[in-house]
């Protein structure tokens, strides 16, 4: 049996199904390219049949991303499979991922079909997909609650029909590591042609066991793990791939397995996805939380000063968390700025570097020292502004405990300058009402979050907003960064508004 574990990332499909997440095609391509740099083997780009927008996004990923297999999800129906193929056929390495439920509870209440019918549908779907490609993955939805004998019967049949990967999902996060290990072990014993396919596992985190279950399955013989970066996804989310990667890396003495990943890209990938999805990473999150390598206890600090491995089982540099002695400030030049970005893993084109350096110089007028987190925020903000119909020119705010908060906002709309004033319950409410007057878009603020990028009175403030378009209920995420929290709030709102304008 191979010691290679393949990583299947479903951030763009299952991850995007997280409530309030809505990625456009450009954002999906941006994430997919970074996942390929990370070394992910298979990117599930989406579920093309669900909407024209998702079809277009999957197609864009298939056309633009190189170095990884691009998969599209399809129910076990010919129409779904045909649509999936149309979306991914231009990919360097296309895969059709088709699925149907196999548990009795799903057969009875969701599919209203018997076991024989589902078996026939599964086989027919795999054979139909085989008309387009040899790279076919079949998933037995709710496998962990399926009858074992029937599950093995289905797996044997779909492998005979042409499936090269068979996925054993814990769809509702119900199983435990011991159960899951035993399930994979029994499948290997009972399915006579299992050596002709790779066993894959897809675990949800409803009981907080997704990563533990995935690792248990791998130790039993599974050789593909499906999950998402930061563990995002429906309900409690999916197995966090960064945790799976680093568990296999750190405990190679136990698992004796390898992956194709460049672990130094983990932190950057996590930050990118957190920013574009509007789902911040909790501080104590394993591997990529800001406290993952922080030590406050005096005993821990003393041990760390004497020998890092006393309290750190991983070097932060392994996951791309840089420790730099280079301090950047207002006297720093373009060369030092560029070199620091390279150290952080950013290779910017000349025009991108010029824009980022301009933002850096602007920030040095407000902050004495610029941290790595500040630099990452600058680069991320420039990357977000791919298409800008609306550009913020200025803000004038009047507010206080004895006056009605009023905001005047100046915006350039495709070269035309305009301004509006509005009153609100507070300065931010007034800003948003003034922007709404200018854009004439009917948007509802669903969520507003402020985070400090760094500490100190001169810290960059990062604002994330989620706006809902009243006409169709779609959610749009915007982010803005500034040392002035009111300016950051306006930037975030306009960033989301530009996404609305692009989608209309």
State pTM to two decimals.
0.83
Topology classification of domain 390-503: Double Stranded RNA Binding Domain (3.30.160)
pLDDT, mean of residues 13-36: 91
Determine contact, residues 43/70, Cβ cutoff 8 Å.
yes
Q: Residue 437 and residue 220: Cα distance in Å, rounded?
A: 60
**Token couple for 482:** 């500034």
Confidence of residue 384 (pLDDT cuts 50, 70, 90): low
Please check the confidence at residue 292 and state whether its pLDDT lies above 80: no
Q: Residue 30 and residue 32: Cα distance in Å, rounded?
A: 6
pLDDT, mean of residues 439-455: 88
The CATH classification number of 6-277 equals: 3.20.20.70
Strand, coil or helix: 448: strand
Confidence of residue 451 (pLDDT cuts 50, 70, 90): confident
pLDDT, mean of residues 321-329: 61
pLDDT, mean of residues 367-377: 73
Q: What is the pLDDT of residue 39?
A: 97
Higher-confidence residue of 342 and 220: namely 220
Confidence of residue 327 (pLDDT cuts 50, 70, 90): low
**Token couple for 352:** 């991108």
Q: What is the pLDDT of residue 296?
A: 46
pLDDT, mean of residues 311-332: 71
**Token couple for 41:** 């083997």
Q: What is the pLDDT of residue 387?
A: 61
Q: Residue 125 and residue 131: Cα distance in Å, rounded?
A: 10
Give, as one character, the DSSP assignment of residue 160.
H
Residues in contact with 493: Cβ distance below 8 Å, sequence separation at least 6, in sequence order: 431, 432, 435, 465, 467, 478, 480
The pLDDT tens digits of the residues spanning 128-179 come to: 999 999 999 999 999 999 999 999 999 999 999 999 999 999 999 999 999 9
Q: Strand runs (DSSP E) across 15-108, as ranges? A: 42-46, 69-75, 94-101
Residue ranges of the domains in the chain? 6-277, 322-384, 390-503
Q: What is the pLDDT of residue 304?
A: 43
């Amino acid at each position: 049996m191979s010691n290679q574990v393949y990583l299947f990332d479903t951030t763009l499909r299952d991850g995007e199904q997280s409530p309030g997440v809505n990625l456009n095609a450009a954002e999906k391509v941006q994430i997919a390219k970074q996942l390929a740099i990370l070394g992910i083997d298979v990117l599930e780009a989406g579920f093309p049949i669900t909407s024209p927008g998702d079809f277009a996004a999957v197609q864009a990923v298939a056309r633009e991303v190189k170095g990884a297999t691009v998969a599209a999800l399809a129910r076990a129906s010919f129409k779904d499979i045909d649509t999936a193929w149309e979306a991914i056929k231009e990919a360097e390495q296309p895969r059709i991922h088709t699925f149907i439920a196999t548990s009795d509870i799903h057969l009875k209440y969701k599919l209203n079909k018997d076991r024989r019918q589902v078996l026939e549908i599964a086989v027919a779907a795999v054979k139909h997909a085989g008309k387009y490609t040899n790279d076919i993955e079949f998933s037995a939805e709710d496998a962990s609650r399926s009858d074992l004998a029937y599950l093995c019967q289905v797996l044997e049949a779909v492998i005979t029909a042409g499936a090269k990967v068979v996925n054993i999902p814990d769809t509702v996060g119900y199983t435990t590591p011991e159960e899951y290990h035993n399930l994979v072990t029994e499948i290997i014993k009972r399915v006579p042609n299992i050596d002709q396919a790779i066993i894959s596992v897809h675990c949800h985190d409803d009981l907080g066991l997704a990563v533990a279950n995935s690792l248990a399955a791998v130790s039993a013989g599974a050789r593909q793990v499906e999950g998402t970066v930061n563990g995002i996804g429906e309900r409690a989310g999916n197995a966090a791939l960064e945790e799976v990667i680093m568990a296999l890396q750190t405990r190679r003495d136990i698992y004796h397995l390898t992956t194709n990943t460049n672990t130094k890209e983990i932190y950057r990938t996590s930050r990118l996805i957190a920013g574009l999805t509007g789902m911040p990473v909790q501080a104590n999150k394993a591997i990529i939380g800001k406290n993952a390598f922080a030590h406050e206890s005096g005993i821990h600090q003393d041990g760390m000063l004497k020998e890092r491995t006393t309290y750190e089982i991983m070097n932060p540099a392994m996951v791309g968390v840089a420790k730099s002695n280079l301090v950047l400030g207002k006297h720093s030049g373009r060369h030092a700025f560029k070199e620091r970005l390279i150290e952080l893993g950013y290779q910017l084109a000349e025009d991108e570097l010029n824009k980022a350096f301009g933002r850096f110089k602007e920030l040095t007028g407000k902050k004495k020292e610029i941290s790595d987190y500040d630099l990452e925020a600058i680069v991320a903000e420039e990357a977000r502004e791919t298409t800008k119909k609306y550009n913020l020119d200025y803000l004038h705010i009047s507010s206080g405990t004895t006056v009605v908060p009023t905001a005047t906002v100046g915006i350039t709309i495709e070269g035309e300058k305009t301004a509006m004033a509005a009153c609100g319950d507070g300065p931010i409410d007034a800003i948003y009402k003034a922007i709404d007057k200018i854009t004439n878009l009917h948007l509802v603020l669903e969520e507003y979050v402020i985070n400090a990028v760094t500490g100190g009175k001169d810290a960059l403030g990062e604002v994330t907003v989620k706006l809902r378009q009243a006409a169709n209920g779609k959610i749009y995420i915007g982010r803005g960064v500034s040392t002035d929290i009111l300016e950051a709030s306006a930037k975030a709102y306009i960033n989301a508004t530009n996404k609305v304008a692009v989608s209309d």
